Amino acid sequence: MLSTLAVAGASGSANAAEPVTQTLELPTLTADLAAQVAQSADATQQAAANYELQAERDAAAAKAAKEAKADLKEAKKKAAEAKKKAEEEARKAAAERASRDAERATLTASTDSGSGSGSTGASTSTGASTSTSASTATGSAAAVVSFVQAQVGKAYVSGATGPSAYDCSGLVQAAFKQVGVSLPRVSQDQSVAGTQVSLDSLQPGDILYWGGAGSAYHVGVYVGGGMFVGAQNSSTGVVEKPLSYDPPSGAVRVL
């Protein structure tokens, strides 16, 4: 009987010890759980940091894209303005070339008609003017005549004002500059720069013009003896010719 009780007691003791054994294992489980929680917290924090970094990168990329878009827009605007300016300059250049071609064509036509029309009004101008020769010019007029005659043989270049090449108004402007007279640059303005005079009463140093007063397309200088000097065109350059070679439309006297 005592043996049986002892066994039972031992068994009872053993059974009583089992809860203690289970209780002792709880701290181990709690520590593992704490470690897992800590790892989870670290992972969460790392993920948050990654998200924040990615957000910063996305914001930077968006800003860069916005700036790039603005730069592209500005570049396109400047390119369009440059293209427009180039087209406008090309149009102006084409218009100037067309105007010069028209002037030369008119000069050529006038030359052709003038060379065979000795009995026309041009011959009247020539005849009336032959009474005043270059040798009778004095003072500033003589200096102007001497200057333009010295340029005979030089090249005609549109827009040139000397000393190696001239266009028609550039030659006239340069000639009068020698005597301290400042003339406008273009033929249209030079044709109204002085007092209008009749072609029948020309004097050396008078400015001849072709076309209308204020809308002239060509100018030259009367040098006396029925002759004039002008930068005619790229084919002839600066020449001295009789008025019948290219009868002028009118004249102005500046000196």
CATH of domain 121-253: 3.90.1720.10
Q: Higher pLDDT residue, 232 or 49?
A: 232
Residue 27 pLDDT more than 70? no
CA distances from 106 to 103, 124, 221, 234, 248 (A): 5, 21, 19, 14, 12
Q: Percentage of residues in the chain with pLDDT exceeding 70?
A: 71
Q: Which of 18-32, 131-145, 186-200 has the highest mean pLDDT?
A: 186-200
pTM equals 0.51
Distance, in Å, from the CA atom of 195 to the CA atom of 221, rounded to the nearest integer, reads 15
Distance, in Å, from the CA atom of 250 to the CA atom of 71, rounded to the nearest integer, reads 59
What per-residue confidence (pLDDT) applies to 131? 39
| CB-based contacts of 112-118 (< 8 A; 24+ apart in sequence) | 114/244, 114/245, 114/246, 114/247, 115/244, 115/245, 117/244, 117/247, 118/244
Q: Where are the domains of the chain?
A: 37-115, 121-253
**Start-end of H helices in the chain:** 2-115, 121-129, 139-150, 168-177, 187-190
pLDDT level of residue 45 (50, 70, 90 thresholds): confident
Residue 13 pLDDT more than 90? no
Q: Using only C-alpha atoms, what is the Rg of the chain?
A: 51
What per-residue confidence (pLDDT) applies to 62? 85
Tens digit of each residue's pLDDT (9 = 90 or more) over 67-124: 888 888 888 888 888 888 877 777 766 666 665 556 555 555 544 444 333 333 333 3
Distance, in Å, from the CA atom of 172 to the CA atom of 186, rounded to the nearest integer, reads 10
What per-residue confidence (pLDDT) applies to 113? 46
Residue 210, classified by CB atoms within 10 Å of its CB into exposed (0-12), middle (13-18) or buried (19+), is buried
Segment among 26-30, 153-157, 188-192, 196-200 with least mean pLDDT? 26-30
